[in-house]
Structures are given as C-alpha cells and as structure tokens.
Structure 1
Amino acid sequence: MTDSASLVFVVDDDDSVCRALARLIQSAGYRVETFGSARAFLNRMPADDCPACLVLDIQLPDLSGLELARELDPALPIIFITGHGDIAMGVGAMKAGATDFLPKPVSDTDLLRAIKQALARAVQTRAIRHELDSLRGRVERLTPREREVMALVVTGLLNKQVASELGTVEQTIKAHRRRVMAKMEATSLAQLIRIADKVGISGVA
C-alpha cells in the first residue's frame, strides 16, 4: 500500500491551519481533503474505498470534534488536535476513539508520525473486515443442515456423535462435512475451528 493510495481528512475551522496541514501532509506523499466544519465532513460521507484517517480539531463551530467522532465509523482512526487541551479533554478524546491527541501548534514530526500510525491501523482494520466479510460470505453458502454440522464438528465431536445429535447416520454426516470443508475453503479441522471462532459459530447453529 503506497502513501498515495491513502487519504487524510482534515477538519478545522481555521482556513490557515487547514492550508498549512494540507501542505505538510501532501509533502509526505498522502492525498488530503480539508473541511471547515464537522457538518461539511459529515455531508461528504467518504466512501470506504481506501485506507484513511482523520485529523480533527476538537473545537469546531457546529458539532465539536468529540461529537463528530461519535457519529463516525469507529474503524476510522482519529487524530485530535487542539489549542486548548487539558487532561479531561484528552481522556474524552481517547474514549471517543482517538489514536492520538496533539496540542496546537502541532509539531510536523509528531503529526506525520501520528498519521503514519493511524493509517497503518486503518490498513489492518480494513484487512480484518475484508477477511470477515469473505468468511461470512462462505457461511451464507452453507445449507441450514451444513451449518448445524459445522457447529457440532468444531466442538470436537466425532462424525458418529454428530449423527447421533442430529438423528441421522454417520455416512450422511461425512457427506455434509465434506461439503462444509469445501464451502468454507478449509483444509483441516483446525482451520475450520479458527474460521468458526472468527464468525461466531459455536454449539448447535
């Protein structure tokens, strides 16, 4: 993932601050979009099509930075900046999901470090989401009976025990199990168990 594929949003009601931050961020190779208010950013509603983070002033004329943060997807890393910070505000920022809390005037080095870390987190979060979406899509391909079989198999039951639980014969369970392994793209029971854990399948489906 190159820096140019990442996007940094800046929300600050001071035009001169927006321009200065935009120049700095662009000089590091990132794309940047600036907004003068929380409402302007909410109206933009950026699509989740690339790793992104938000550099956000806490004190804004409409919604505050903390209020805006509560409206956003928690997966969007936020770097709060403020000229009037205190410990209580910093705690509130962290509770709102901040990855960093920086005082104005913001050090170029500190901001670029915070952006780099925030975008790395965004990349990781996107990868996890994409993996879960893929796994859930595989689960959707299972029939209700196959899901029941999977839920019992991952608890460690043998085929004959699963058959007894579901009131059928072992040969039928073997056939269901083969289809489950194929649809879930699992090559071993251990892998199937890990997948079940990630998608929240346990016990009888």
Structure 2
Amino acid sequence: MSGDAIIHIVDDDRAAREGLGFLLSSLGLETRGHASAADLLGHLDEQVVGCILADVRMPGMTGLELLDELGRRDCPLPVIMITGHGDVPMAVRAMRAGAMDFFQKPVNGMALVERINEALALSRERAATGRERAQLVSRVASLTAREAEVARAVLAGRQNKQIAADLGISLKTVENHRHNVMDKMGAGSAADLVRLLVAAGWAET
C-alpha cells in the first residue's frame, strides 16, 4: 500500500512504538521506529516520500518542539501527532504549528491508517512539486546573464521594444535572447514563461 514510502514512528515508549509499527507493517506499510526526536532528526531523509507519527510527551525534545524544528527546516513530510494526554489547547497548538492531525491514545487504528494514506498522498504530491521546481531552477541557471535580464524584463511586463531601449541593445538582439529564453525554459508563450519563472522562484515585479 505504501510502495516507496516510509512512516517514521517517534515514541520513547518502546511497546507503543513497536505495537504501532507491527500494526502498520501488517497492512503493507514500511515503518521505522525512533526512540526520540533527536534520533529521527539524525536519520531522517526528507527526500524519501513518507510521513511522521510523533508522540507529544517525550524526554528531551517533545513532540511539539520536534514539530517546530521540522517547520524551521521546511521538512516536506506531513506530521501526525499522537498523545495519551491530549487536550484541546495542545491540539490547537499542534495544528497551528503544521500538524496534519492529532490523535489521542488509544488510537483508532483504521482512522489513523486512513490519515496516514492521505499523508503519503500529500508527501508524493510535494515530492513531485519539488522535482518540478528543481528542474525549473536548473533551466533558469542555464540562462546567460543577458538572457536572464531579458527574462526578468518579460516577467515585469516589458515589451520587446521597451526591453531593447532599457538594455541599450537592438530589437533583433532582444528577440533572439527572448527566443533562447523561451526555448531553454520550455515555454510556449509569454504567459507560460511568466508562470514557469514564478514557479522557479522568481517573484513577479
């Protein structure tokens, strides 16, 4: 059911960690157990599709502190919080910090599995988006300095004649650079080019 995905279970309670791991493994999901938040952070490969199930109350770094740290690292893996001592304020804080969901022990196994599958689907979507962005960034990096200037001018809504005047070059030269930019970025129109540049991280000006 998970295929290429890994579910990370973070809980200092060995019995709880292994019990949850057994349940998920019996459903065909690949799991990895971590006895602490530090252990997870030391072994986590954010490039691999997956999600994180984290207990709230743990010695050292708590589950909520882990959630904050993952947020600072821009970790793309969805996080589901689990606790035996949950309350409404704690759940609200966890959700505001980016948790996908908040379960209280004893956990409803099937409800958890349903959310895990949703988390894995989200992780795959984020991974695909990340790959697409990396490809676009690579295309942008292939532009020459002059092509980049022309691309930014197009992004700003400047016409070819205006770009030529701005850069002090001929209209024909602008057209050639613009053609090269369109070709390297794989854009079929000016609107398409703008969309690709924004997706690559260039802000519209």
Structure 1 length-normalised TM: 0.92
Residue number in structure 1 paired with 2:75 = 74
Matched residues, number: 201
* Distance in structure 1 (CA, Å) of the matches to 2:181 and 2:36: 50
Do residues 136 (structure 1) and 137 (structure 2) align?
A: yes
Residue number in structure 2 paired with 1:22 = 21
What stretches of structure 1 move > 4 A for 4+ residues in a row? none
Residue number in structure 1 paired with 2:51 = 53
* Distance in structure 1 (CA, Å) of the matches to 2:79 and 2:204: 35
The answer to whether the Cα contact below 8 Å between 1:8 and 1:54 also exists between their aligned partners in 2 is yes
- Please list, as runs of the form range in 1=range in 2, the aligned pairs for 1:26-175 lying within 5 A after superposition: 26-44=25-43, 46-72=44-70, 73-175=74-176
Secondary structure of the residue that 1:120 maps to in structure 2? Answer: helix
* Distance in structure 2 (CA, Å) of the matches to 1:178 and 1:154: 14
The answer to whether the Cα contact below 8 Å between 1:74 and 1:97 also exists between their aligned partners in 2 is no
Structure 2 length-normalised TM: 0.92
Structure 1 regions of 5+ residues with no counterpart?
Answer: none
Determine what percentage of the aligned residue pairs are the same residue.
39
Task: Provide, for residues 84-112 of structure 1, a one-character-per-residue CA deviation record: whole Å limited to 9, x for no partner.
Answer: 11111001111221000001000011110
The answer to whether the Cα contact below 8 Å between 1:80 and 1:102 also exists between their aligned partners in 2 is yes
CA positional deviation for 1:174: 0.7
State the one-letter code of the partner of 1:10: I
CA positional deviation for 1:202: 3.3
Structure 2 regions of 5+ residues with no counterpart?
Answer: none
Query: Aligned-pair RMSD on alpha carbons?
Result: 1.5
Secondary structure of the residue that 1:3 maps to in structure 2? Answer: coil
* Distance in structure 2 (CA, Å) of the matches to 1:155 and 1:40: 47
Secondary structure of the residue that 1:79 maps to in structure 2? Answer: strand
CA positional deviation for 1:201: 4.3
The answer to whether the Cα contact below 8 Å between 1:25 and 1:32 also exists between their aligned partners in 2 is yes
